[in-house]
Amino acid sequence: MRTPIIAANWKMNKTAAEASSFTREFLAQDIPSGVEAVICPPFTALEAVMAQLRPAGRANVFLGAQDMHWEPKGAFTGEISPSMIGAAGCSFVIVAHSERRRLFGETDETANKKAAAALAAGLTPIFCVGETAEERDRGLTARVLEGQVRNGLAGLAAEAVSRMVVAYEPVWAIGSGRAASPADARDAAALIRGVVAGMYGDAASLGLRVQYGGSVDPANIGGFMAEDGVDGALVGGAGLDPVKFARIVALGR
């Protein structure tokens, strides 16, 4: 059985001090077992979050980064390596978020390098895919998702793919207050699993966890979790509030 996984992507929000108080408050909430929670702060707050998580010793609350470079080290001003975020305590790393694709030139090719480098460094990628409003209107959703999965997850080991997380985040649903429907999320999850099954076999596609992301909140998480094949959520805005995020995690079980 796949364990549900709810991740908070803070994007460019919270100082280290703010991250620290969020984490303290989050850990004081009722977080049940049977679901994994991941907090993905900005790089500058990784240590502050980890400083709270480590002594708390919760087996199901993890640290994640929002991005990384694929090279292990070198002359890449402004970049952070897989081993750096690993040493900061990260177990997860978001790869190819649509904001990275749209605003910072992330391509399927760089996303693929990052997925491979993350896995090689012992990190679990949360690999993001999703169509824009225009692509959806033109009936291209399936083709876009298939391309992003096929190119982004090319050349990996089947066993590693089985441990990955893929986040389906339709771009039009992000930060818009207009979430996709649970049926949309279910269909996308099935499509993603179908492509992965073709590439890596059934074991990989059945092990892989698929999240939905885009305007998830405590009121709509239940609908997504009720769908077959949807294993959790990647949460933006609602993940900035410790009480709301804890509520989503608890309902994500």
DSSP string, 116-163: HHHHHTTPEEEEEE---HHHHHTT-HHHHHHHHHHHHTTT--HHHHHT
Nearest residue to ligand 13P, scored by beta-carbon proximity: 236
Residue 216 interacts with ligand 13P (CB under 6 A)?
yes
Q: Which of 48, 192, 196, 235 binds ligand 13P (CB under 6 A)?
A: 235
Nearer to ligand 13P, 84 or 173 (CB): 173
Total Cβ atoms within 10 A of residue 227: 19
Active site residue 169: yes
Residue 234 interacts with ligand 13P (CB under 6 A)?
yes
Active-site residue, selected from the candidate residues 97, 99, 131, 227? 97
Residue 211 interacts with ligand 13P (CB under 6 A)?
no
Active site residue 69: no
| Span near ligand 13P by CB under 6 A; candidates 54-62, 145-153, 190-198, 230-238 | 230-238
Q: Which of 175, 198, 201, 222 binds ligand 13P (CB under 6 A)?
A: 175
Residue 9 interacts with ligand 13P (CB under 6 A)?
yes
Nearer to ligand 13P, 125 or 214 (CB): 214
For residue 49, the one-letter residue type is: V
Total Cβ atoms within 10 A of residue 83: 16
Active-site residue, selected from the candidate residues 36, 99, 131, 169? 169
Nearest to 194 by CA among 227, 127, 160, 145: 145
DSSP string, 93-123: EEES-HHHHHHH---HHHHHHHHHHHHHTTP
What tokens appear for 112 in the block?
A: 């693929």
Q: Which residues bind ligand 13P (CB under 6 A)?
A: 9, 97, 169, 174-175, 213-216, 234-238
Active centre residues (catalytic): 97, 169
